[in-house]
């Protein structure tokens, strides 16, 4: 793995271009032990919700790779398109090169203009997190039927409407429809897999991209990692699928105009990751 073949060094993964052998032309993902979080009294506190790498957690990369492998293979079995090709070691995966859904800046000469970076898609079985903070008129735990939303990446992620995506030329109407359908299909499979282990997925976040060598086909890229899924062990639905346990589970606050929402029955990534690692 020559350094000159490094395509991208992300917060958690290194992406290499493969230049020889049976996978020549494909990308190699190396899942590293780098972990994000924040510093407190000079010590690193790991938290996947943060965007700064503050240290390493030994074994983290191998766990993320096994978790992602489990779900990518499941998608393959069900003919759901992703960039996944194979897993070749405990922390290395081969994937199809793709272009994340993005768009160059229309007027890069202007100060402050910026490209649209890798779009992210969230999907939600039930209302919580930023959805509830944006729409606090909604009962926490309400069944949202896997509502899909698109987000632009940046210092802070911003919601972008599908109409704006189409009007700016970032995606065509047809691509938006296919992307939403793909995200919902994957969400259904992931949710069912967790349900088979008596766990409920509240929401999740995926990245999509166009295969470099595949008629611009839009597929799931990046990873399905424990860090992008919110999971709970107390889902108690009524006939509409609204969670009836929110009274005991959800803790909200409003201070200086800022809302917070937490769920007591949420299971931490480190506690659910192991069930898919055997």
Ligand X SMILES: Nc1ncnc2c1ncn2[C@@H]1O[C@H](COP(=O)(O)OP(=O)(O)OP(=O)(O)O)[C@@H](O)[C@H]1O
CA 188 to chain centroid: 15
Tokens of 214: 């595949």
Measured CA distances, 122 to 3, 44, 131, 165, 166 (Å): 33, 28, 10, 15, 18
**Which of 53/138 has CB closer to ligand X?**
53
CB of 243 to ligand X, least distance (A): 30
Interface positions with ligand X (CB under 6 A): 8, 10-13, 15, 27, 83, 95-98, 100, 118, 207, 209, 221-222
| DSSP letter (8 states) at residue 260 | E
The residue (of 96 and 203) whose beta carbon lies closer to ligand X is: 96
State the DSSP H helix or E strand holding residue 76, giving kind and residue range, or none if neither.
helix 60-77
Please identify, using beta-carbon distances, which residue of 139 and 210 lies nearer to ligand X.
Answer: 210
As measured in angstroms, the least distance from the Cβ of 15 to ligand X is 5
CB of 51 to ligand X, least distance (A): 7
Least Cβ distance, residue 157 to ligand X (angstroms): 10
For 207, residues 6+ apart whose C-beta sits below 8 A from its C-beta are: 100, 101, 118, 119, 120, 121, 220, 221, 222
Nearest distance from residue 253's CB to ligand X, in Å? 29
Which residue sits closest to ligand X, CB atoms considered? 10
Nearer to ligand X, 101 or 176 (CB): 101
Separation CA 207–CA 212 (nearest Å): 15
> Which residue, 118 or 130, is less far from ligand X as judged by CB?
118
């Amino acid at each position: 793995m020559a350094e000159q073949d490094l395509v991208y060094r992300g917060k958690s993964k290194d992406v290499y271009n493969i230049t020889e052998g049976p996978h020549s032309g494909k990308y190699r993902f190396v899942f590293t032990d780098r972990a994000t979080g924040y510093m407190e009294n000079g010590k690193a506190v790991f938290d996947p919700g943060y965007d700064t790498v503050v240290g390493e957690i030994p074994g983290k990369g191998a766990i993320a790779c096994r978790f992602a492998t489990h779900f990518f293979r499941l998608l393959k079995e069900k003919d759901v398109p992703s960039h996944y090709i194979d897993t070749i070691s405990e922390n290395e995966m081969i994937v199809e090169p793709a272009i994340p859904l993005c768009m160059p800046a229309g007027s890069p000469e202007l100060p402050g203009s910026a490209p649209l970076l890798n779009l992210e898609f969230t999907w939600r079985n039930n209302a919580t997190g930023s959805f509830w903070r944006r729409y606090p008129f909604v009962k926490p735990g309400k069944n949202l039927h896997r509502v899909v939303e698109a987000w632009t990446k940046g210092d802070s992620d911003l919601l972008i409407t599908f109409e704006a995506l189409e009007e700016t030329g970032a995606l065509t109407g047809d691509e938006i429809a296919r992307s939403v359908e793909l995200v919902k299909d994957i969400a259904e499979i992931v949710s069912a897999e967790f349900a088979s282990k008596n766990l409920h997925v509240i929401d999740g976040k995926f990245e999509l991209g166009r295969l470099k060598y595949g008629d611009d086909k839009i597929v799931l890229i990046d990873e399905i990692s424990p860090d992008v899924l919110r999971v709970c062990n107390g889902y108690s639905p009524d006939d509409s699928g609204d969670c009836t346990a929110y009274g005991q589970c959800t803790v909200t606050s409003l201070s200086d105009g800022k809302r917070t929402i937490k769920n007591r029955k949420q299971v931490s990534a480190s506690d659910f990751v192991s069930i898919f690692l055997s």
